Amino acid sequence: MSKPEVTTIQIQRSVLEELKRVKRYQRETYSETILNLIKNADETRELGTFVQKAQEERMKELWGEGDYSGWERA
């Protein structure tokens, strides 16, 4: 079994400190930490889409038909 390909990235020291802060456990790798952050962002985005669709349906019930797809940016 071959080792996964690895790369080096540059980040600001403040970002490094934040990554250290959000680690779930001390020996968690930065790759694991970043993957967890990405997973959480994806789940949050999916939840936001679900809530938006539910709100659009309720708005149609209350105010009639219309395009409410951009209402949250107003």
**Distance, CA of 21 to CA of 12 (rounded, Å):** 14
| Residue 71 near residue 58 (C-beta atoms within 8 A) | no
Per-residue pLDDT at 19? 94
| Average pLDDT over all residues of the chain | 83
Per-residue pLDDT at 57? 75
> With a threshold of 0.85, does the pTM exceed it?
no
Q: Which residue has the tokens 């993957």?
A: 35
Does residue 33 carry a pLDDT above 70?
Answer: yes
Residue 22, amino acid:
V
Q: What's the average model confidence in pLDDT over 69-73? A: 59
| Residue 74 near residue 59 (C-beta atoms within 8 A) | no
- Angle formed at CA 41 by CA 36 and CA 44, multiple of 5 degrees: 125
